[in-house]
Every structure is written in C-alpha cells, then in structure tokens.
C-alpha cells in the first residue's frame, strides 16, 4: 500500500514537472525530437552539413542565383522570349562590347572614376575614423556613429536629391558664396564630374568609415606610446605604426567602395553631366530599350562585374603583400 502510494506520488511529481516545463523544455524531452537531434549531431561532419545548409541555400538563391541567371541571359540571343521566337545560345553579346569602341569609353571612365572617388573617400574618411576611434571616449563613440548613420536612414535617391539642393544654381553653396560676396553669378557645380564625385563620396563614406574605424579601434594605444618613447615623431608614428596596422581596414573599405561605385546608376544619372556617362547608364539603356536588348545589357553587366572583381582581387593581393612586408 505504501509502495503504491510512493509510486503514485512519484508519477504525480513527474507529471507536475512535465507540465511545469516551458514549450522548449517539453520539446527537448520529446522522443522524436531526441531521435532527430541525435541523428543530426551524431558526428561533426553531420553537424557541419546541418549548419551549412541554410547559409548555402541563402547564398545560392539570394546571391548567386540572380548572377547566374544574368550570366545565362547574357549568353542568349533573345530575352524575354517573345511568342514564336526560338532562343539560342551565343557569344555575340560579348563580342559586341569588344568590337565597338563606343562602349569602351564609359567602361574605362567608370573604372577610373570609381578608383578616384574611392581614393577621395579614403582621404576624407580616414581622419574622421581616426578621430572617432582614438580621441572620442568609448561612451560617446556610439553617439558619434549614430550621427554619421543618420543620412543612411533615407534612400540613395533622397540623399542624391539632397546633394542637388546643395549644389544647384540656387542651392545652399551658391547662395552662401553669393552672400559672402565671393561670386556674382552661381557656379555651375551641378551636372559635372565634381557633383557626381561629391554624391558618390557622400553615399559611400560610411562603407569606408566603418572598416577603418574597426581597424583603428582595435589598434592598442600602447603601440604608438612605445613608438613615441623611442623618439618617433607624430608623422613617423602614423606612417610606421598606425597606417601599416590599419591596412586591413583600408583594404576592406576601398574594396567595398570601389565595387559599389562601379555599379552606381541613379547618382550619375541625376548628378552627372554629358561628359560623365558611366557604364551603368549604358547597361541600363539596353534594359530600357524595348526588344531583345536584355542579353546585351546582361553581357555588359557581366563584363563590368568580372573587371571589378579582377581589379579588387589584384588590389587585395597587393594590400596583403604590403601588409606582410610591413609586419615582417
């Protein structure tokens, strides 16, 4: 009788424990779940496969999928395929680029502009990142970063229009110069490589600033103090200690900004002028023009993509070599 009571009490306690468990607790005690997790985590190899599935699916469908589709379109002679038209594979869209010099100028102009604007962004943002990482207290750094992030709360087009308002003939800059008595007539800033450059630097600055800030923030202050103790001047400390040890941040920032700059479309269209046509505008033209021009646009986009990747790959290698050379 007492055994029976003890067993009932024990069963009752177990049931109570079970009902006290949360959903996740109950799930982890559920037999099929146990079985499945056991099978999945039976070996490190299985664990790796399970963990890799989601990122792989994401990269494949979200990142690589559209690129591969674009590559496929670039190798066809018709897209979208109209009724009654048979689609064939061809390399003609690629030979069109290499066979016609009129496409080379916007192509190389884009690469040169992107390189120059990347360099300008680096020169402008490095002191900002340096100040932020080295001279702003950690408590205020987040506030400072938040201030820098504010323009990014709105989209690219709105920020581009902000530049137009700033640089237009009746814009703030011309009004100020006029008020100060420096000019009688407005300076035509807009629709030039200058206005386009200002726009692109403004739009990409944060992509440069964050890697630089990260690199500078990780750099121990004691390194510079040691160099100072050994008699190095401020310039020497920067040249021999800070700069080499932030090359990784420079490399990441430049790569990001360069790649983004090669693909800008709306900003050059809105801020650029007749002599600043970039390759993205040429590519967009093929997609806007009705008919079978999508494959050509896709081929040109692929060419630019490959060129940008080759250039950034070369740049990364150069930076790696530089870094290794300096740290040896």
Partner 1 sequence: MTKLTFSRRRFLGTAAAGTAALASPAYLRSAHAAGGEVNIWTYNDFVPEAFKKQFEAETGIKVNVRLVDDQGKQFNLLAAEAPNPTVDIMTVAGHRFLQFIDNDLLAPLDTDRLSNWGKINPTFSESDWSTINGHKWGAPILSGMEVLAYNTELVSPEEVKSWDVLFSEKYKGQTAYILQDMMSIIMLKMGYDGNMVAYLDDPAKAEAIVEEAKQYLIDKKPLVRKYYDGGAEVQQMFVNQDIALGHSWNGPAAALINDGFPLAMTIPQEGSYGFVYTYNIANNAPNADNAYTFLNAILASPEIGAAMTKASGFISTYKDASNYLTDLEKKSTSFTDEEMSTLKFFRAEANEMKYGFVDPAVEAIKAA
Chain positions contacting partner 1, by CB under 8 A:
80-84, 100, 102-106, 164, 168-171, 186, 188, 190-191, 269-270, 273-275, 277, 281-282, 285, 287-291, 293-294
Helix, strand, or coil (residue 132): helix
Beta bridge partners, 262, equal: none
Rg from Cα positions in the chain: 29
CB-wise, 103 or 113, nearer to partner 1?
A: 103
Contact 193, 275 (CB under 8 A): yes
CB-wise, 105 or 233, nearer to partner 1?
A: 105
Beta carbon of residue 191, minimum distance to partner 1 (angstroms, whole number): 5
CB-wise, 130 or 161, nearer to partner 1?
A: 161
Beta carbon of residue 272, minimum distance to partner 1 (angstroms, whole number): 8
CB-wise, 202 or 294, nearer to partner 1?
A: 294
Beta carbon of residue 80, minimum distance to partner 1 (angstroms, whole number): 4
- Assigned token pair, 82: 């109209």
> Distance between CA atoms of 314 and 309, rounded to whole angstroms?
8
CB-wise, 1 or 102, nearer to partner 1?
A: 102
- Assigned token pair, 22: 């949360």
Rounded alpha-carbon distances, angstroms, from residue 41 to 24, 34, 35, 211: 18, 10, 10, 36
Nearest by Cα to 163 from 282, 272, 280: 272
Beta carbon of residue 24, minimum distance to partner 1 (angstroms, whole number): 43
Beta carbon of residue 77, minimum distance to partner 1 (angstroms, whole number): 15
Helix, strand, or coil (residue 76): strand
Contact 77, 87 (CB under 8 A): yes
């Amino acid at each position: 009788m007492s055994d029976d009571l003890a067993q009932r009490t024990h069963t009752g306690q177990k049931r109570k424990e079970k009902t006290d468990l949360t959903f996740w607790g109950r799930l982890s005690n559920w037999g099929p779940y146990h079985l499945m997790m056991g099978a999945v985590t039976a070996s490190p190899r299985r664990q790796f496969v399970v963990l890799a599935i989601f990122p792989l699916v994401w990269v494949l469908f979200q990142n690589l999928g559209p690129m591969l589709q674009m590559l496929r379109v670039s190798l066809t002679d018709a897209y979208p395929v109209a009724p009654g038209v048979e689609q064939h594979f061809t390399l003609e869209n690629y030979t069109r680029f290499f066979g016609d010099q009129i496409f080379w100028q916007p192509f190389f102009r884009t690469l040169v502009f992107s390189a120059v604007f990347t360099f300008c962004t680096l020169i402008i943002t490095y002191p900002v990142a340096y100040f932020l990482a080295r001279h702003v207290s950690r408590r205020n750094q987040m506030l400072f970063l938040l201030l820098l992030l504010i323009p990014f709360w709105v989209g690219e087009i709105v920020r581009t229009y902000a530049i137009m308002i700033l640089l237009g003939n009746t814009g703030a800059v011309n009004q100020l110069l006029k008020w100060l008595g420096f000019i009688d007539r407005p300076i035509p800033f807009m629709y030039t490589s200058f206005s386009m450059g200002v726009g692109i630097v403004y739009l990409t600055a944060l992509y440069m600033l964050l890697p630089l800030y990260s690199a500078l923030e990780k750099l121990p202050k004691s390194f510079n103090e040691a160099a100072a103790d050994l008699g190095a001047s401020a310039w020497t400390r920067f040249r021999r200690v800070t700069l080499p040890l932030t090359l990784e941040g420079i490399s990441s920032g430049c790569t990001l900004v360069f790649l983004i700059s090669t693909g800008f479309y709306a900003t050059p269209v809105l801020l650029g002028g007749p002599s600043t046509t970039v390759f993205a505008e040429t590519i967009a033209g093929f997609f806007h023009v009705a008919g079978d021009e999508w494959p050509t646009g896709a081929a040109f986009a692929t060419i630019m993509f490959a060129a940008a990747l080759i250039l950034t790959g070369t740049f990364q290698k150069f930076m790696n070599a530089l870094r290794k050379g300096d740290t040896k």
